[in-house]
Structure 1
Amino acid sequence: MTDKKDKKILVIDDEDDIRQLIQTCLEIMGGWQVLTARSGKEGLLYALNERPDAILLDVMMPDEDGLTTLQKLQNHPTISNIPVVLLTARGRFVDREFTQLGAKAVLNKPFNPLKIADQIAAVLN
């Protein structure tokens, strides 16, 4: 991956506080341009229109969960190559299952706000 300052990441999470915290951490500590979406449906539209370099996707959301959104992202040829990092409170035992479904990696909630930018950068490099 090239300079992160030129990179755009889409954060899809239904929780306003989590979304804002991640956005602040990634902008300040990671130098990312951050787009945010409140739902999988909104996130899919952003992904199609903005073509981010990466997507951070919450697994447990109302209406359409993260795994359904991941499947929809993968079904669009123009955006199926965007790496998706899942964010979950379900625990480590499902990490392998999620990566087998096409996620680049899984980050567990609660996450360390001071380390999330570095964790995402490490996954994407």
Structure 2
Amino acid sequence: MKRILVIDDEADIREVIQLTLELTRGWEIVAAESGSEGIALATSRNPDAILLDVMMPEMDGVSTFAGLQAEAATRSIPVVLLTAKVQSADRRRFAELGVAGVIAKPFDPMGLTDQLEALLGWNARREG
């Protein structure tokens, strides 16, 4: 079973993502409401992937990603950004960071799992 860490300051978004991924694939979801909490959970829970909001107070997604990259224990975890910033310049900047992909907000909950699997190169038919 996959373990996904969701880092987003909006409780509603975390809940929608958690329900969607649990119901469609049975994945375990770990949720954090801040970048610093997310880094701590990534270190302790060793997720298979991280869904990371770009726009958060205090520590934004780009800073959180930098923090994840600075730690040997979390450096290799694929990160997918969630963002309302979908201009080509923003997408280029995010791609240069080395993230696994970008999902635009608002996203379609019914297509989220497939979109995430496609970005991460996970085969939906394969278990675990």
Q: Note the alpha carbon deviations across 1:18-48, whole angstroms, 9 max, x for none.
A: 1100110011113211000000000000000
Task: Give the match's secondary structure for 1:34.
Answer: strand
In structure 1, stretches of 5+ residues that fail to align are 1-5
The TM-score normalised by the length of structure 1 is 0.93
In structure 2, stretches of 5+ residues that fail to align are 122-128
1:11-90 matches, within 5 Å, as: 11-90=6-85
Q: Give the letter aligned to residue 59 of structure 1.
A: V
Match of 1:117 among 113, 118, 125: 113
Q: Give the letter aligned to residue 21 of structure 1.
A: V
**For the residues of structure 2 that align with 1:31 and 1:124, how far apart are their CA atoms?**
17
Q: Give the letter aligned to residue 16 of structure 2.
A: L
Identify the residue that residue 3 of structure 1 maps to in structure 2.
none
Consecutive aligned runs of 4 or more in structure 1 exceeding 3 Å deviation = none
Identity of aligned residues (%): 50
- Please tell me the root mean square deviation across aligned C-alpha atoms, in Å: 0.8
Contact preservation (8 Å) 1:44, 1:69: yes
**For the residues of structure 2 that align with 1:49 and 1:39, how far apart are their CA atoms?**
15
Q: Give the letter aligned to residue 50 of structure 2.
A: I
Aligned length in residues: 120
Match of 2:101 among 95, 105, 110: 105
Q: Note the alpha carbon deviations across 1:43-89, whole angstroms, 9 max, x for none.
A: 00000000100000000000000000000000101110000000000
**For the residues of structure 2 that align with 1:63 and 1:79, how far apart are their CA atoms?**
21
The TM-score normalised by the length of structure 2 is 0.91
